[in-house]
Structure 1
Amino acid sequence: MQGIIARHWDTAMARLQACIDRVKMWPQGQFNHLNSSQYCQYLYFLSNTIWREERSEEALGVATRLFLLNKALNGIDLFYEIEMPEVFFIGHSVGIVLAKATYGNYLVLYQNSTVGKNHGVAPVLGAGVILYPNSAIIGRCRIGANTAVSQGTGVINRDTPGNCMVFAGTAGELTIKTAKRPLIDDFFRRGSEL
């Protein structure tokens, strides 16, 4: 196990550091293993890097152990085969469940948020999507760039235009309001890529 981790350590740490350096509330150039959000992302990047680069039975066993450790320590269901974006932020990991979906860069996740499949169909999330606590994106959804899903809102088999905020409406409908500014800028140091 130690040999497998050692072989992939540098790559995983480079991926983690690139992510940490883009998050505004975290000091650049530093990984704090006592910051539970950073440690959660570290365990994901390490397990995912091992899975990407080495498919031996022993390596998959290590990746599985790291996934299970992350689940036990942080209450997150983030399997190592899921391709998370290069830059993402986990505010509070407890209760987050993520399916194999398409995730755009600069993703923000808070507690009890879910991205899931419906009848085998997974959502596609654009860049700069924010899922506030207890929100969900499920099924055949195309979530436009810079969409913020408000607390307690479920987007199921629906699309969003992007540059918007999504709220739970009446009778199961959604209320979509144009965002006055990119909320994603509160979270990340970024260039003009969004």
Structure 2
Amino acid sequence: MAEDTFSARLRGLRERNNWNARIMSEKTGIPKQTLESYMSLKAGPLPGLDALKKIALGLEVSLDWLVFGAQPVGDEVAQIVRLSAMSGALPCFELLLNKLQQGEAVLRSDGTLLGLTPQEWAADIGWRAGEKAKAITEAGTSRATLAVAERAMKSELEGVLKDRFGSGIGSATGN
């Protein structure tokens, strides 16, 4: 099993990118010898927060990955994606439902939905989802907060469905 430590991740970056310590030093602004000590197989010094930030920015990796590896943040990333996707889709979904309720034709003969192509709808939803994901990550949201927000978004979606179509719709939200 591969070693999953800070130093192993740095060595892996060096190898995957065909870098040497000098190149990494130029990218991060951290002395070459210091980086070499961080990459050492011996339990050497660990960088402080400022150095970690320089390494993450200079080598273009996330601080989470650099410090913890991929696994601990995987669940949160999945939650952020689900929450952002629901948040991005809900306004579009509500618009379509409102137009249907008002008796308007939403699907046009040219294959557009309210005058927009599927690609345009997808781009709009994707943009909204991206903005929500950015807001979530910039806020430093905790696991507990993500779980609460995801439940609230599911409830909101379920509420919209129940308001429009009555009870028995809960399975549409994955509950």
TM-score by length of 2: 0.26
The structure that is strand-richer by fraction is: 1
Q: Which structure has the larger Rg over C-alpha atoms?
A: 2
TM-score by length of 1: 0.24
